[in-house]
Amino acid sequence: MASDEQVHSFVHHAVSRHLRMAQGISYFIAHTKQQKDIQLCDLLAGIYVANFERILRFWPNAATLEDFIAEHCDWSEHRLITWDRWNDQRQHPPRTISIPFTARFFQTLRKPTFNAKMLGFSDDLKRVYSTAEQLSPNRVTFGGIVPLITPELFLFSTLRTEGIELAARLKDSGIELRALEQVALQQLSEPDKLMF
């Protein structure tokens, strides 16, 4: 029988509930764009949609942040519309219509939705997650003791990961680096509470 450490060795980090919500929206965005992988820009757009109030303080104003997402993340739909569409698709998956008493009627096939479609992570996205794991000041119990990643830490890690083209554009967007770094690298007294 394998030990707990061996069973959970695939777990490299845990994400806060705020970043988990952004990840769900990034799946929706990537699916909407008909991509095979979630790109770094999709998760940044997901963070914008799911955590607008949390991250707005790092930009001079809302218009600057919205312009960055539209121009560099290829997502110009208003965040509230994206939120509504994502919620609607989660709560009401598409129905399948079939003629009664045919072979197809007895099959339980559903059209794939963004939840059912498994998407991979792009190389840039994996690299930023790896940087975030190294930079995280907070550890939580999640199949072992692992680093906790928040939206703020993810943004900061994007800036700190070498060779990421989007990082230079993010720096030029007017983001307030010192404020972001202070929040991203803050040691929390009870980081486990951010998971749920």
CA 4 and chain centroid, separation: 27
Tokens of 17: 């509930």
User: Which range has highest mean pLDDT (4-13, 50-59, 116-125)?
Assistant: 50-59
Q: Could you give the CA distance from residue 83 to residue 81 in angstroms, rounded to a whole number?
A: 5
Is residue 3 pLDDT above 50, yes or no? no
Model pLDDT for residues 101-157, shown as the tens digit of each residue: 666 555 555 554 555 467 899 999 999 999 999 999 999 998 889 999 999 999 999
State the average pLDDT for the chain.
87
pLDDT value for 7:
38
CATH superfamily of 4-191: Clp, N-terminal domain (1.10.1780.10)
Model pTM score:
0.83
> Residue 10: CB partners within 8 Å, gap ≥ 6?
none
Give mean pLDDT, residues 182-191.
Answer: 96
User: What element of type H or E holds 125?
Assistant: helix 123-135
* Percentage of residues in the chain having pLDDT higher than 90: 71
Query: 139: which strand partners?
Result: 147
pLDDT value for 97:
62
Expressed in percent and rounded to 5, the helix, strand and coil fractions of the chain are 55, 5, 40
Domain boundaries, the chain: 4-191
